[in-house]
Structure 1
């Protein structure tokens, strides 16, 4: 199984579509790409004919599709189905390692954020590294087969944030992400839309697939990740997000990411 790797001289940020053309014209079943992106770079909407495993080797990236947003922090990857339009915003400097699989090798029904374990990370590194250009075809096959096996075992993390199609509701969601608060209430949002509490809760679930309370909890953690990555103290992030204390914030953080903020920061950010 020959693997085609990008030769990795760093390209200017506006050369994203050169990368895209490289992905779309490659005839190898597996393509591997590594790139460094500067903070603030916005990659415009695009799509691939392949399933993409987008690993944040370092840094934090915000992925968008028509129906949702996904925060990809260090140590995590976003699995992007073939044909799904998506854009990317670099919240910080980002080191990206991506593997593009032919659809018959790996299919995905929906985007999902997964925690990359050490084995999967080593396998992705091995495929991306240009030093392995001379890797034998048999070794490439073994590494790829093991990675595909491991992807099926990775832990999904609830870092996807569904977004409604309804324009007025979507506007409230965007405003909330700019100033998240765990104390935001259903009644407040219902009043702003001129709806009864019952009508609002029905609309919200129909538009997003989750309850308002679940969405609010996820959104608060979602918005906290770039701040934590920037070195903001946990207590400040917790209080700014509307939590009464660090313990309540930590409980929700652990529920979503599998570890408390202090462990997460040490493991993935070296803080």
Structure 2
């Protein structure tokens, strides 16, 4: 599927940046699948979440698949990019750097609590150009809620080497692909030994381990929208549902049914 790339400012025209008077702002945008916001940074922090749909957020040499149950915190001045995997009700929340609830952390995965979700929807109903006592109260409560949220990261590290990045991008787009490292070596113009060495050097894991992480990351939105585990396992290239569940439990310490329990 072709990806439509847009600039940072194009889809968010009219957005009001956070400031001392209004430290938390947001802008509502519904984006179709395959839209992409190219790498950018800004002087305020961003909480990237979607009320519906699935996002892929890339920052700090890592990539996260983000279903509605999760959000990605990106600190001020950290370069990041967003791709819409499934049509999304994108609700980025912008927070003044002076009110950072996670000082010293460039990126952080957060569970979206029912309260945070309601606060985002409440903030959406207010005029961003006219700060009010209500918007400030919502902002204060949101800033109090964020540090309380549990983190359950499904992080997929991304490489700098162009050949390895080409391979990783292809697997993120099709995590169920069964091709061997030898096949990918031919596709990206490097030897199998070179790619294996790069996986260990740049990502700290083998090709098989990285592919498992990519598959598990994609499993999150599939499970979240109610897809049977047997179909999830099949689409992600596992030989059986039990094989998928075993790998999930090994990685996260619990089966999918427990991990995604609300």
Q: TM-score, normalised by structure 1?
A: 0.73
Question: Aligned with 1:48: secondary structure?
Answer: coil
Q: Aligned equivalents of 1:26 and 1:148: distance in 2?
A: 13
Summarize deviations over 1:216-239 as a string: whole Å, max 9, x none.
221012234565577764323302
The question of 1:119 aligning with 2:111 is answered no
Q: Aligned equivalents of 1:235 and 1:26: distance in 2?
A: 45
The question of 1:17 aligning with 2:15 is answered no
Q: TM-score, normalised by structure 2?
A: 0.75
Q: Aligned equivalents of 2:159 and 2:128: distance in 1?
A: 44
Aligned residue pairs: how many? Answer: 250
Report the CA distance between 1:251 and its aligned residue: 4.2
1:105 maps to which residue? 99
Q: Which of 62, 69, 82 is 2:76 aligned to?
A: 82
Whether the aligned pair in 1 keeps the contact of 2:159 and 2:202 (CA below 8 Å) is yes
Whether the aligned pair in 2 keeps the contact of 1:183 and 1:243 (CA below 8 Å) is no
Q: Aligned equivalents of 1:175 and 1:18: distance in 2?
A: 27
Question: Aligned with 1:155: secondary structure?
Answer: coil
Report the CA distance between 1:79 and its aligned residue: 0.8
Q: Give runs of aligned pairs for residues 225-240 of structure 1, distance below 5 A.
A: 225=220, 233-240=228-235
Report the CA distance between 1:204 and its aligned residue: 2.1
Q: Which of 24, 38, 42 is 1:44 aligned to?
A: 38
Q: Which of 22, 43, 51 is 1:57 aligned to?
A: 51
Larger CA deviation: 88-97 vs 220-229: 220-229
Structure 2 vs 1, CA of residues 116 and 210 (structure 1 numbering), >3 Å: closer, same or farther? farther
Report the CA distance between 1:212 and its aligned residue: 4.5
What RMSD over aligned residues (CA atoms) do the two structures have, in Å?
3.9
Q: Which of 190, 193, 199 is 2:191 aligned to?
A: 193
Question: Aligned with 2:86: secondary structure?
Answer: coil
Q: Aligned equivalents of 2:143 and 2:7: distance in 1?
A: 29
List alignment gaps of at least 5 residues for structure 1. Answer: 1-12
Q: Give runs of aligned pairs for residues 1-271 of structure 1, distance below 5 A.
A: 17-18=9-10, 20=12, 22-23=14-15, 27=19, 28-65=22-59, 67-106=61-100, 107=103, 109-130=105-126, 137=133, 139-180=134-175, 193-195=191-193, 200=196, 203-210=198-205, 212-225=207-220, 233-253=228-248, 256=252, 260=256, 264=260
Whether the aligned pair in 1 keeps the contact of 2:42 and 2:77 (CA below 8 Å) is yes
Structure 2 vs 1, CA of residues 32 and 92 (structure 1 numbering), >3 Å: closer, same or farther? same
Summarize deviations over 1:26-81 as a string: whole Å, max 9, x none.
54322122221122222233222111111211110112347222211122111112
